[in-house]
A and B are shown apart, each in its own frame.
Chain A
Amino acid sequence: MAELKLTDVAKAYGPVKVLSDINLEIERGELIVFVGPSGCGKSTLLRMIAGLEKISGGELQIDGQVVNNVPPAQRGIAMVFQSYALYPHMTVRENMSFALKISGKSKDEISQAVNRAAKILQLEPYLDRLPKALSGGQRQRVAIGRSIVRDPKVYLFDEPLSNLDAALRVATRIEIAQLKEQMPDSTMIYVTHDQVEAMTLASRIVVLAGGGIAQVGTPLELYERPENTFVAQFIGSPQMNLLAGKVVGTGAQTRIALPEGQGTILSNVPTRDSDMGAEVEVGIRPEDMIQTGGPDYAYSGVVEIKEALGEVTLLYFKKQQPEHDPVIAKLPGIHTGVRGRTLKMTADPAKVHLFRNGQSLLYRT
């Protein structure tokens, strides 16, 4: 049975609709990541699950129970805030004990729970310090510890790493992944706008965009089979190239002609006879681009900028239409003397995505 079930959940602030038609089931032990651009409603959704925001429509179930009107403390959830939200006047120990004290646990139980959490998070030397005497990473660990002692069914994290510097962010990300491994039965929902965090941590990713869910899936599903151009371009860096094309051959494999560069290319996405002549968008990730001299190619253009990173080389092609994003190719290894040259680029048919009106042709019914 699902630990968490959202049915048609919606949120509106007065006339402003922020979220609508959110349908989602989360199993026990999953680490779900909500990812999406800033302002798309990730925090709002998380806060509705926490009970800090009222749910405007639909139903939220935790552990089989409708909790729309259950107060936050009784939902069996704990939340880690982006700003840590530690109580500044309490020591680390008091911060972690607060919830247990409120719920009337005995002194022994409290100190046991706090010591256990402190041990897991390596906070033992700091238990008697005030939050202001801790570094950012330590404060974040205290905030996590405050959740752990309550032994909740669901952990909620709202961009927990975004106040840390880059090096610490990677270290803390790994710590969170390890923490999750130590607690295989706890369910975690993790909000971030950073796709790398999402890809590395998640068992499943929920991509939010435009007030709804764009796609739900494992990290690799999102990468290999994006349902729409938004997900296709949101996951992966640099983002996927989208080129205008026209279907000129249908069947188990599809042949597409690309007016920009006058080439044609094969895709493993199957099409129907009725698709003949349809306008589509051809999606090829920069890292899937291959230089070719053969007759099949997706793009032909002049290399305008080259970024050599050693392990890979990024090629930015000259824009043929000023409003388009430049086509980017990411070639392994070092390439010299390509700037200013005209290159023909192709890709493995298995790596060529097809979209029509922004939706992938793979998922048509």
Chain B
Amino acid sequence: MGPLMQGVLTILIGVFGCVGYFYFSNLVLDRLIFPARNDDAGRNINRANAVRPWLFLAPALFALCLYLVYPVVGSFWRSMYDRSGDVFVGMQNYKNLSVDPEFRSAVFNNFLWVLIVPAMATFLGLVIAQLTDKLKWGGIAKSLIFMPMAISFVGASLIWKFVYSNDPNIGMLNAIRIFFGADSPIDPLQVPFWNNVFLMVILIWIQTGFAMVILSAALRGIPEETIEAAILDGANPFQIFFKIQVPQIMGTILVVWTTITILVLKVFDIVYTMTGGNFGTQILPSYMMEYMFRDDGRATAVALVIMVLVLPVMIWNIAQARKEMR
């Protein structure tokens, strides 16, 4: 059987399996378990209605447990074993992390990433959304700015490797430096501290398009009359933007901000491909990748640390998004 047939068969089984499950489980519930007959008819209908939601939710809950809850519990369990997974070491992996200077530097760098990348991407996205909204060629500008979203992180890193290349004939950064009279090229990725910023620029470059698209839609949702009223009230364009428009889309801004924050805590590709975490650029996801397959106990411990960091942002993000939808 060819892979195509296999795929088609899987789809068919999946789709009809779902329909069949809902249809027959419902039938069993209504006809066999709580039949609406005889003296108990009324009570049975009520009982069937109480059970039905759980019956229909069961497959989703099962999948959720299988693919979300089990891995979390499993990871936690694994993080208490040594690198080969044979010896129970309790909290030893976490203790090791807390004294590892590389881990500490990863936490510090990640903190910088969380501080800078979402703020910059959101700010630039907002400004670009506003500036391109009224322009004739704004649509073209927007598509260009959105395009990096379609590139994988590794692909983006490769592009920026050229920008940061220490050959001034290739690297734009060095070309500019030489143009302004610097005598020798440098390797931007080895400049302490600033190399972190150079790496962040890549993610900002990717995420600005996302922020721009969402915020542009939000800006369009603002009633035109409130802006006209502000014009009549004598507000200048800056006042209109910061005092009338931005406050009205604050909810969306926060959702975009936190969504990028969560992303920042997950992206390992950029650091992994650009510097491999060397030269003081390590962050948590790439630190985790470094230990994966070599010391799964420690890697899972890092994964759980990341999860604990992401969780509050996530909860807040969802709450905010819900408020927006109302």
Contact = CB atoms under 8 A, between A and B. Distances in A.
B247 to A, nearest CB: 4
Interface in B223-243: 223, 225-226, 228-235, 239, 243
8 contacts: A51-B232, A85-B223, A85-B226, A88-B248, A89-B248, A102-B233, A102-B234, A102-B235
A89 B247 contact: yes
Interface string A47-72: 00011100000000000000000001
Interface in A22-76: 50-52, 72-74
Interface residues of B, number: 17
B235 to A, nearest CB: 5
A81 interface: yes
A73 B248 contact: no
Interface in A208-226: none
A72 B233 CA distance: 8
B119 interface: no
A86 B226 CA distance: 6
Interface of B: 223, 225-226, 228-235, 239, 243-244, 247-248, 250
B233 A52 contact: no
Interface SS, B side: helix
Given A77-B232, A79-B229, A98-B235, 5 more contacts: A73-B235, A81-B228, A85-B226, A85-B228, A146-B229
Contact of B226 (A51, A78, A88): A88
A103 interface: yes
Given A83-B223, A83-B225, A85-B223, A78 B232 contact: yes
B232 A72 contact: yes
B226 A73 contact: no
Nearest 7 A/B pairs, CB to CB: A73-B234, A85-B225, A99-B233, A89-B247, A85-B229, A81-B225, A102-B234
A102 B231 CA distance: 11
Interface residues of A, number: 24
A88 B248 CA distance: 7
B250 A87 contact: no
Most buried by A among B225, B229, B248, B250: B229
Contacts of A52: 228, 231-232
Contacts of B235: 73, 98, 102
Interface in A106-153: 146, 150
